[in-house]
Amino acid sequence: MKKIAVYNGSFDPVTNGHLDIIERAAKTFDILYVTVAIHPTKVGLFTIEQRKELLKKATAHLKNVIVDSTDELFMDYVKKVNGQVLIRGLRSTTDFDYELQYAQSNQYLNSQIEIMYLMTKPSHSFISSSVVKEIASYHKPLTGLVPECVEDALKKVYQDQ
């Protein structure tokens, strides 16, 4: 039986912190779904399709990664793709309170699916999509914060501002 996991997030945009978690999870599981969460009330900087395309480019070197999107509850989505594990990333202790509540509510929804937390490398612990977008809006370099394809996409978004 193949070990299948799902790593979900908004990925608006994908950062090197996300990529760190993706690469490590891809080594652990036979198949890793990297899935963009669609929230109908949230408007991102990038469209869902743009986020998926950036994720595909950033993970092209990982042959067992499948990029997808869903507006379903994630425990339903994990079950639909025959996953056994939902991957979550932690940057610091400030993420822990939210993630604890998230894990407990997801375990309530489906206790058969495990939730695995991976800590980002210390060098990525300060990186968030929000911070990256703010830095990019001031036309500052993003070297080391995001994959090159994301830096290029952000430059295009903010070039006229």
Q: Residues with catalytic annotation? A: 18, 42, 91, 129
Q: Place 96 in a pLDDT band, splitting at 50, 70 and 90.
A: confident
Would you tell me the crossing angle of helices 148-158 and 48-58 to the nearest 10 degrees?
150
Query: Is the pTM above the cut of 0.85?
Result: yes
Q: 10 Å Cβ neighbour count for 43?
A: 8
User: pLDDT per residue over 10-59, tens digit each?
Assistant: 999 999 999 999 999 999 999 999 999 998 888 899 999 999 999 999 99
